[in-house]
Structure 1
């Protein structure tokens, strides 16, 4: 079964919109785990516009499943990861002003940089993953960085699926097959939803984990958080 890690950035966005601590991010994370999710993901950005760096410290104390911290490995982010020691760190090349992640790493151009950062995290026994497009050259480049896993950036799949083009999954199938041959674990995330997750899971082999936030929280407004978490779990079986 592919693990479901729930990204709780949107909970932090809602909290920050009014100040105070409603909704309580740690309480929501604990509830999500109790509903059956196998991980909690956060993606703090330098301006802390949703997840705050202190949230990472607070969540580390209470998350009992896998704890995944995503972000661009600037010094402040690296220091936070080394301090909190999550289960997994996912490296994402997002710009400071990016609304959301919109590209994977060029693992060839940035190979030396990634190798150094990954070596730092692995020296502290933190599993590493890097965000990549479903491009075979980028997957090959990722294998040369020393990373444990890749996270396939799935926006193009989600867009194609929404347009009725199920062939949009083929690059992800091919990337996963190659990654597995190269001894890389395979994660995936971005715009995966209740509508498209089952087909993706069916067609992409060796899928260890998906990280889902925006769609899951949005769907929960209509269907309820506990119900939606379990709907994802059923589709990932």
Structure 2
């Protein structure tokens, strides 16, 4: 079964918009796991506009499933990950002012940089994943960095699916086969939701984990958080 890791950035955004500690990020993370979620994902950014660096530290005490920290490996982020030692770090090349992640790594251009960063994380027992587009050359480049996994950036699939074009999954199928050929584990995330997740999962061989935040939290406003987590898990069976 493909694991569901829930990104709780939007919970932090809601909390920060009012000040104080409502909703309580640690309680929500605990509840998500109790509801069946198999991982917690956070993506702290340098301006801490949603997840704060202290949140990453505080979550250590409550995350008993997989703990995934995403982000651009600037010095501050690297130091945080080495301090927290999550299950997995996902390297994302987003700009500091990016609203959300919008592109994968050029694993050829930044190979040497990624090799050094990944080596440091892996020497500290942290599984590594690189955020990539479904581009064969970028996946083959990822394999040369020493990373354990890739995370396929699924925005283009989701956009095509929403328009009724299921052919948008084809580049991801090919990407998954190339990843497997190169002994890379496969994660995926971005714009996956209750409408498109089942189709994506059924077509991607070896899909180990999906990281979903915005859609899941948005759907939970109507369906309830516990029910929504359960519905996502059903799509992944």
> Deviating runs (4+, > 2 A) in structure 1?
none
Q: Partner residue of 1:169? A: 169
- Residue aligning to 1:226: 226
Q: Which residue of 1 aligns with 2:151?
A: 151
Deviations 1:193-228 (A, max 9, x none): 000000000111100000000000000000000000
Counterpart of 1:207 in structure 2 is 207
1:155, 1:185 → 2: CA distance?
19
* TM-score between the two structures when normalised by the length of structure 1: 1.00
Q: Which residue of structure 1 aligns with residue 33 of structure 2?
A: 33
Alignment gaps of 5+ in structure 2: none
Cα shift readout 1:155-194 (whole Å, capped 9, x = no counterpart) = 0000000000000000000000110110000000000000
Kindly indicate whether residue 105 of structure 2 is the aligned counterpart of residue 97 of structure 1: no
For residue 187 of structure 1, give the secondary structure of its aligned residue in structure 2.
Answer: strand
**C-alpha deviations, 1:104-159, integer Å up to 9, x for none?**
00000000000000000000010000000000000000000000000000000000
Secondary structure at the counterpart of residue 227 of structure 2 = helix
Partner of 2:62: 62
- Cα distance between partner residues in 2 of 1:60 and 1:107: 30
Counting only pairs closer than 5 Å after superposition, residues 15-164 of structure 1 correspond to structure 2 as 15-164=15-164
Note the aligned Cα RMSD (angstroms).
Answer: 0.3
Please give the secondary structure, in 1, of the residue aligned with 2:89. strand
Instruction: State the alpha-carbon separation in 1 of the partners of residues 61 and 120 from structure 2.
Output: 23
C-alpha separation in 2, matches of 1:4 and 1:180: 20
3-state DSSP class of the match of 1:176?
Answer: helix
- Shift, 1:62, TM fit: 1.1
- Cα distance in structure 1, aligned partners of 2:64 and 2:22: 22
Distance in 2 (CA, whole Å) between partners of 1:92 and 1:198 is 25
The separation in 1 between residues aligned to 2:17 and 2:7, in whole angstroms, is 18
- Partner of 2:129: helix, strand, or coil? strand
Alignment partners' CA distance in 2, 1:59 and 1:181: 35
